[in-house]
Amino acid sequence: MFAKVLPVFAAVAGIASAANSACTKTTFTLSSQADIDALSSCSTLTGDVVLSGSTAAALNIGSIETIDGDLTLTNNNIISTLQSSTLEKVTGAFHLQNLTTLSTLSFTKLTSVGSINFISLTTLNALTFTAGVTSADSIVISDTFLASLDGIDVKSADTININNNRRLVEYTSSIGNLSTLLNINANGQDLAVNFPNLIWIANMTISNVSSFSIPSLKVVNGSMRFDSNFFSNFTAPNLTSTTSGDVSFVSNADLTNITIPGLTTVGGGFQIANNTALNKINGFDKLKTVNGAIKMRGNFTEIDLPALGDVKGAFSIVSTSDITDSCTAFKKLSSSSNGGNGDIQGTFTCESDVANANSDTNPTSTSSSSGSKSTGTDSGAAGLSVNSLAVLGLAGVAVFAQLL
Ligand SMILES: *[C@@H]1O[C@H](CO)[C@@H](O)[C@H](O)[C@H]1NC(C)=O
Ligand SMILES: *[C@@H]1O[C@H](CO)[C@@H](O)[C@H](O)[C@H]1NC(C)=O
Ligand SMILES: *[C@@H]1O[C@H](CO)[C@@H](O)[C@H](O)[C@H]1NC(C)=O
Ligand SMILES: *[C@@H]1O[C@H](CO)[C@@H](O)[C@H](O)[C@H]1NC(C)=O
Ligand SMILES: *[C@@H]1O[C@H](CO)[C@@H](O)[C@H](O)[C@H]1NC(C)=O
Ligand SMILES: *[C@@H]1O[C@H](CO)[C@@H](O)[C@H](O)[C@H]1NC(C)=O
Ligand SMILES: *[C@@H]1O[C@H](CO)[C@@H](O)[C@H](O)[C@H]1NC(C)=O
Ligand SMILES: *[C@@H]1O[C@H](CO)[C@@H](O)[C@H](O)[C@H]1NC(C)=O
Ligand SMILES: *[C@@H]1O[C@H](CO)[C@@H](O)[C@H](O)[C@H]1NC(C)=O
Ligand SMILES: *[C@@H]1O[C@H](CO)[C@@H](O)[C@H](O)[C@H]1NC(C)=O
């Protein structure tokens, strides 16, 4: 950002010395080690640095300590080593993409980066970030050969997206909060994820992990979604609420136990579907309020939500097994026309022995669902195409109102 402003400012103000002006440019396009070495008098480069067209097997960023701009190297299948023992800070993006021969990435003093975008670094098996990057707003690590992300450990971030790193089997971060999105998917099958200090997080979508530890997490400001994971137990011992988004567990084949003992409020919808080893839902002892819909599909024999007292949307539970006892208990919370006390404000469905219960994993689709109102049935409501379970909740109310 500053890169484009500062040169103009410097020129206008006439304060740049000859040496300094050599260190300021909109874009430094450097295509060889000689090009880099020509900037050896610059400890700070103000401007974007693009390493382009180099045919060298190794590049050393030389004596530069700060890049006030982006550092970019893309589409190169010759370089094997990119290094610097001086660079401490990149204010913009550190963007490396489609470097199929890069095997050594050594930035021993680097601590602060605006964002990290490491994509398609298919032979990179380790980061030599000795000092360790402790500050970055956004981290995207995709399609690398990394077995570890040691060397990157930030305290807070907007976005972290770790995907398609097939060798990655462990990811531990001391991050305390994350303000937009955490996405983890399609990494190594045995990926164990640990966020011991995470207190709040906006949104998270987690897939294909073998364990997910969030002992301190208190609040999810957005939604949390767990799809196709390999863990058998899930617990969030300190989680009390999700303030606006959905909570979803879908197609986690090994899952036998979900326990979120302190969860009182789900700000959006609450979905549990196609986790076929999950026979009992009994880990939500304090769940009182669901501002969207509740939708559960599975091989359940028992569903207990003992504190449930306020469901704004539809309530729809379908099991392959007999859940008559659970249904009898929940019916008491349905609308008065159903003989209930009205705690559940949307439509009420609770069905046992439906062989294909698990085939409905679809909570969320498009909002152009008014057509399905005409069906007016509970199965119609379950099949509504809507943006989120929260919307499904409202749609459910509308359907119900029409039926009255
Ligand atoms: C990756 O970089 C190579 C050159 O190293 C280029 O030929 C190829 O088209 C690039 N691939 C993509 C997807 O950009
Ligand atoms: C986010 O976490 C960091 C590190 O734990 C902390 O210093 C900061 O105060 C937190 N910010 C908010 C808004 O909670
Ligand atoms: C998320 O919720 C926590 C706790 O209520 C709050 O401190 C934080 O500011 C919220 N973050 C966002 C991005 O809304
Ligand atoms: C969560 O993501 C949704 C869109 O996917 C976005 O609208 C919402 O603002 C995010 N929540 C937060 C707290 O960032
Ligand atoms: C990984 O998760 C995705 C859903 O996000 C799923 O479609 C895919 O089948 C999963 N892969 C494995 C190997 O479990
Ligand atoms: C869980 O919450 C309790 C009460 O707020 C707190 O004392 C405890 O330290 C938290 N546990 C973790 C691991 O953060
Ligand atoms: C996971 O839960 C099962 C029972 O549902 C239990 O046998 C097993 O010990 C648990 N594993 C862990 C790691 O807690
Ligand atoms: C489910 O997990 C919780 C929390 O980890 C544990 O306390 C409980 O014993 C587990 N239940 C079963 C049946 O394994
Ligand atoms: C879940 O129920 C279906 C339908 O009854 C059955 O075919 C399947 O084997 C069950 N899965 C498990 C893991 O029990
Ligand atoms: C249900 O989960 C299994 C994995 O356990 C997956 O193969 C299947 O496609 C999922 N069904 C649906 C409808 O998503």
Q: Which of 218-222, 238-242, 273-277, 366-370 has the lowest mean pLDDT?
A: 366-370
Q: Which of 1-15, 127-141, 224-238, 259-273 has the lowest mean pLDDT?
A: 1-15
CA 307 from chain center: how many Å? 29
Quick count: other Cβ atoms within 10 Å of Cβ 401? 10
**Residue 15: pLDDT above 60?**
no
Q: For residue 16, what pLDDT is reported?
A: 39
Q: Which of 15-19, 164-168, 193-197, 356-360 has the lowest mean pLDDT?
A: 15-19
Q: How far apart are CA 306 and CA 389, in angstroms?
A: 21
Q: How many CA atoms lie within 13 A of 378 on its CB side?
A: 13
pLDDT digits (tens, 9 = 90+) for 208-232: 999 999 999 999 999 999 999 999 9
Q: For residue 354, what pLDDT is reported?
A: 97
Average pLDDT (128-141) is 98
Q: For residue 20, what pLDDT is reported?
A: 67
**Residue 113: pLDDT above 50?**
yes
Residues framing ligand 7 (Cβ under 6 A): 232-233, 256-257
CA 105 from chain center: how many Å? 25
Q: Among 229, 274, 354, which is best to mutate for testing ligand 10, by the most ligand atoms less than 8 A from CB?
A: 274
Q: What are phi and psi of 147, to 5 degrees?
A: -100, -10
Which bound ligand lies closest to the C-alpha atom of 186? 5
Residues framing ligand 5 (Cβ under 6 A): 185-186, 207-208, 227-228
Q: For residue 21, what pLDDT is reported?
A: 82
Distances (CA, A) of 166 to 109, 157, 190, 217: 28, 24, 10, 27
Mean pLDDT over each residue of the chain, to the nearest integer: 87
Residue 158, burial from CB neighbour count under 10 angstroms (0-12, 13-18, 19+): middle
Report percent pLDDT > 70 for the chain. Answer: 85
Task: Give residues with Cβ within 8 angstroms of 383, minimum separation 6.
Answer: 360, 362, 372
pLDDT digits (tens, 9 = 90+) for 67-106: 999 999 999 999 999 999 999 999 999 999 999 999 999 9
Q: Would you state the structure tokens that stand for residue 286, as one six-digit string?
A: 């304090």
For the stretch 105-132, what's the b/e string if a residue is b when 16 or more beta carbons lie within 10 angstroms of its beta carbon? Answer: bbbbebeebbbbbbbbbeebebbebeee
Q: How remote is the CA of residue 217 from the centroid of ligand 6, in Å?
A: 9
Q: Among 159, 180, 200, which is best to mutate for testing ligand 3, by the most ligand atoms less than 8 A from CB?
A: 200
Q: How remote is the CA of residue 229 from the centroid of ligand 5, in Å?
A: 7
Which bound ligand lies closest to the C-alpha atom of 279? 9
**Residue 166: pLDDT above 80?**
yes
Q: How remote is the CA of residue 259 from the centroid of ligand 8, in Å?
A: 7
Average pLDDT (231-238) is 98
Q: For residue 62, what pLDDT is reported?
A: 87
Q: How many CA atoms lie within 13 A of 2 on its CB side?
A: 13
Establish whether residue 135 lines the binding site of ligand 2, counting it when its CB lies within 6 angstroms of any ligand atom: no
Q: Would you state the structure tokens that stand for residue 160, as one six-digit string?
A: 């972290």
Q: For residue 322, what pLDDT is reported?
A: 98
pLDDT digits (tens, 9 = 90+) for 329-349: 999 999 999 999 999 999 999
Establish whether residue 167 lines the binding site of ligand 2, counting it when its CB lies within 6 angstroms of any ligand atom: no
Q: How remote is the CA of residue 142 from the centroid of ligand 8, in Å?
A: 34
The pTM of this model reads 0.87
Q: For residue 319, what pLDDT is reported?
A: 98
Q: Among 198, 216, 221, which is best to mutate for testing ligand 3, by the most ligand atoms less than 8 A from CB?
A: 221
Q: How remote is the CA of residue 237 from the centroid of ligand 6, in Å?
A: 9
Q: Would you state the structure tokens that stand for residue 324, as one six-digit string?
A: 């008559």
Of 107, 101, 92, 99, nearest to 60 (Cα)?
A: 107
Task: Give residues with Cβ within 8 angstroms of 8, minimum separation 6.
Answer: none
Q: Closest residue (by CA) to atom 2 of ligand 2?
A: 176
Q: How remote is the CA of residue 296 from the centroid of ligand 7, in Å?
A: 22
Q: Would you state the structure tokens that stand for residue 125, as one six-digit string?
A: 């098996």
Q: For residue 294, what pLDDT is reported?
A: 97
Q: Closest residue (by CA) to atom 10 of ligand 1?
A: 75
pLDDT digits (tens, 9 = 90+) for 354-394: 999 999 998 743 222 322 222 222 332 333 233 344 333 33
Q: How remote is the CA of residue 202 from the centroid of ligand 2, in Å?
A: 13
